Amino acid sequence: MTYIIDSTLREGMQSAHGRFTVEQSVEVASLLVRSGVNAIECGHPAIGPDELLRVSAVVEAAGDVPVLAHARADITDIEAVAKTGAAWVGIFLGVNEVTRRSRLPGRTLKELFDRVEESVSHARKLGLRVRFTVEDSSRTDSGELVEAYLIAAEAGAERICFADTLGLMEPHQITERIGNLQRLCPGTDIEVHLHDDRGLALANALAAVDAGATWVSTSVNGLGERAGITDYAALAVNLQYRGTRQLADATLLNELSHRVGAYSRSMPDHRRPVVGRDIFHHVAKLHVAAVEREPGSYEWLEPALLGRTSTTRPTGVSGNAADWIVDPKVISATELRYHRKGPGDRFVLVDNRFVPGAEQYCIARRIPTLDDYGPGHVDTHVHHCDSLFVFLGEEDGYEGLSVEVTLGNKVFAVQSPASVFIPSGVSHGYRVVGGAGTYLNHVLAGDYNSSLLDPLGSNA
């Protein structure tokens, strides 16, 4: 049996844009649980009280699925993990020459091995279950690597983790290293944490499983340091395809991908395996004809497994430049979810209806002077992409328009001229307070309603 521990909420926080709030972390954890992960890795509680609170919230949201939190081989770090209620601590320490020079200058190998024993023993005394990782395992001398793992296991670690921290290894090398660990560390579960710097993380993960690793560390969309790590959806579906591990609900993988992509401002590209928009889109005439007769001719698994359908519809922007010029139409905001009819006329300037394939939405609203602007016509909402508000008053210098803008849990008084950038995943809205002018809204999606991220469990 292969087990998956997803580390989106830890490794993903170390990506270029990964900053998950407590609420976002709880949503992601809930979807991970429903999709069938065996464990969740979340955070480094010793960072501070906010991180400790976030990990604690994920522990509660995960229910019976165990949560593991990160800690250096340091007593303070380990005690912070214990305060979160997490069942597991992931203790890590590098012992190779690179680590000793760059992070632990002056420490001898014996001193580091003593830290391994002391930290694991202390965690066990606190009632924590322990996974021990030798950081940069793939560049660590085999003898020193095995000795560190054996010391950790003797002190009470139930699982050891081989980390290809720089993503350097190839499948045949992974097979050799994991097979060696299995022989020399009998009775201890082996996990692999594989970075994707060379684009080999998934191949290496499958090789590790074949060589005897029982756990694989993943993240949604492969999110993580630099090029990230093994992609959760890709690994999970490949294991199901092999018949060695079943997904609880594969239809949740797209939702997970979009939500994590939005919250990290790092959406997967359209060709990404399993979750990409275009993976069941057939274009070549030969392929289209074949798929219409026999879907399996050019599909490696049934789209329905992922809650998807295949398509042969033509896409892309017209090559005729005249088609790019739009005659704006006045359309009420009632066509949008979370919206009601607003003040003045709403002109739709562009979306996929007017320029197929544009993948952008832009409207202009001409706001008149009113005695009462009311409570506002827009409820707060969230997009899976970045968007923009622009406020231009009708007075000189575009002054004269007053609005309130909600961003997350804060409300700002805004005077025109002004623009408001709204990162993907952030709840937002606005209401007119006074004056007259023009409001522009630009969203990086061609279908407004499809760009909305609804609260989990809602029927919106």
Active-site positions read 287
Q: How far apart are CA 55 and CA 59, in angstroms?
A: 6
Task: For residue 210, give both structure tokens.
Answer: 């074949």
Contact between residue 119 and residue 91 where contact means Cβ atoms under 8 Å apart: yes
Cα angle: 103, vertex 174, 44; to 5 degrees: 40
Buried/exposed 261-271: b ≥16 CB within 10 Å, e otherwise:
bbbbbbbbeee
Of residues 102, 94, 73, 184, the one with CA closest to residue 138: 94
Contact between residue 174 and residue 164 where contact means Cβ atoms under 8 Å apart: yes
Which residues face 133 on adjacent strands? 92, 161
**DSSP-assigned states of every residue in 105-166:** TT--HHHHHHHHHHHHHHHHHTT-EEEEEETTGGGS-HHHHHHHHHHHHHHT-SEEEEEETT
232-242 and 253-263 helices, crossing angle to 10°: 160
Q: Which amino acid is at 194?
A: L
